[in-house]
Amino acid sequence: MTPAATRPASRDELSALPVEVAPLLLGALLETVVAGERVVVRLTEVEAYHGLGTGDRPDPGSHARMGPTARNATMWGEPGHLYVYLSHGIHSCVNVVCGPEGVAGGVLLRGAEVIEGEAVAERRRLERRGAVRSARDLARGPGRLGDAVGLRHPVHDGIDAVTGAEHAGARSRLLLPVEPIARVATGPRVGVAGIAGTAAFPWRFWIEGDATVSAFRWGRGAAEAAARQGDTPPVLD
């Protein structure tokens, strides 16, 4: 797919609440240059997370729900940096920090299409995870996306995607679409435990019908929490 026209992201437009910024990142391009190798992905699926005191209600699914820690420090910093954290001890996942400095929030990059540097992304995936089933799976899911773009925890945590300044031998730039994506779907976040993974927090946004969007799965206790609320379960694609 040919990406739409884009422009560099600014700190001001990333300083709104993550749930407001998240849908605006769909169709955006994330460019990384790591060890001289360039990869560009088009974002197709994202999830918003709010820290303690961010927005009008607590977000029990956020890393920053209890306040600042060594792990989540980047989430409390300047918008436009990337919060890169380790999931399950192996997956480096990438978030765009949103909200004013000192107010924690981020948007997890859940799925993307690799539009430049496919051979580099595939090699990285093979080195870290083994076989790649198809091109659509190169950055389908946050761990795969982190592998594809080459950003690793902890060395690249805090890299600035607005200025593109070098950080631990890497550079990153975020380019937003000039025109917002028209076909945006929303629903519960994927794999998030309890109430935070239900329709009470419909903070997952994706481009409807895009093949690189990851499959939905319930988090621990989320299906039970949804049933207690009488929610209609999302389609398990």
Per-chain mean pLDDT for the chain? 94
How many C-beta atoms lie closer than 10 Å to residue 138's C-beta?
25
Q: How far apart are CA 47 and CA 196, in angstroms?
A: 12
Interval 85-114: pLDDT, tens: 999 888 899 999 999 999 999 999 999 999
pLDDT class of 40 with cuts at 50, 70, 90: very high
As beta bridge partners, residue 94 has: 84
Query: What is the CA 193 to chain-centroid distance, rounded?
Result: 18
Interval 153-189: pLDDT, tens: 999 999 999 999 999 999 999 999 999 898 999 999 9
Tokens of 40: 């560009």
Q: How far apart are CA 5 and CA 152, in angstroms?
A: 28
| SS3 assignment, position 114 | strand
- C-alpha dihedral over 70, 76, 77, 82, to 10 degrees? 80
Interval 197-233: pLDDT, tens: 999 999 999 999 999 999 999 999 999 999 988 776 5
* pTM of the predicted structure, to 2 decimals: 0.95
In angstroms, the Cα distances linking 53 to 82, 87, 103, 188 are: 20, 24, 7, 21
Q: How far apart are CA 135 and CA 144, in angstroms?
A: 12
CB 180 within 8 A of CB 202: no
To which residue do tokens 């929030």 refer?
105
CB 19 within 8 A of CB 56: no
